Structure 1
């Protein structure tokens, strides 16, 4: 491929529910990203789970290779010098709150329940991903 083929851009169009677009915009704002950059980053991050043996080329902009954690770590370190433990705590907080929100949503939708008898969460819908 020529160098110009690596940097040419094209439009990708998709349709999502209004609430989802609003959630994406809010999350993009929290990360200091445009909505386009946020969606591109999330798609690239999702692709890595499906094609782990393939390396992504560096993407232009603030998120090389589409690595959201990389972007968050760089943002944290640009504002302060942090130890390993401080970095871990800063990036873990987001995971904890996302897990809490996800568990609440799954319980609201009766996809999981908390079982005191078994000491944890269990799938109500047979344990599959439901998709």
Structure 2
């Protein structure tokens, strides 16, 4: 992996009309993706001149879960050579970021919380007693 490649995560904010956000969320839900993952994927696809609607939905090479692992691996390898361990670390960071985003979203909707007493995350409806 290139020493100059910064793989840390940074937040990006943008403002769009409410109807557009709803459309994006609906499409992300259909693909089984978080909205952040959907926007990130669409931006990357657009940067490559790729139009997602042209992909054959039943193609065995399609990524029906929308996780983009194959695309992510190709992007990494197009920039540098990676060992197995380096690739695993690079793609594992994505799942950590996705989990972090999901936990933040669930907490913001007051569906889960962190309970030191229970030693981790719990749903809001759970009591603190075991």
Matches within 5 A, 1:6-85: 17-20=19-22, 21=24, 23=35, 24-30=38-44, 32=47, 36-37=51-52, 56-58=58-60, 64-66=61-63, 68-85=68-85
More helix, by proportion: 1
CA distance in 1 between partners of 2:41 and 2:76 (Å): 17
| Aligned alpha-carbon RMSD (Å) | 3.2
Q: How many residues align?
A: 92
Greater relative contact order: 1 or 2 (C-alpha under 8 angstroms, separation 6 or more)?
Answer: 2
Where does the alignment leave 5 or more consecutive residues of structure 1 unmatched?
1-15, 45-55, 59-63, 127-131
Change (3 A) 1:119 1:89: same
Q: Structure 1 36/109 Cα, relative in aligned 2: closer, same or farther at 3 Å?
A: farther
Deviation at 1:103, TM superposition (A): 0.5
Q: TM-score, normalized by length of structure 1?
A: 0.55
Whole-angstrom CA distance in 2 between matches of 1:30 and 1:124: 36
CA shift, 1:17, in A, is 4.5
Q: Which whole-Å CA distance do the structure 2 matches of 1:119 and 1:34 have between them?
A: 46
* Structure 2 portions without partners, runs of 5+: 1-17, 26-34
TM-score, with structure 2 as normaliser: 0.55
1:44-88 superposed Cα distances (whole Å, 9 cap, x missing partner): 6xxxxxxxxxxx534xxxxx3226211111221122110111101
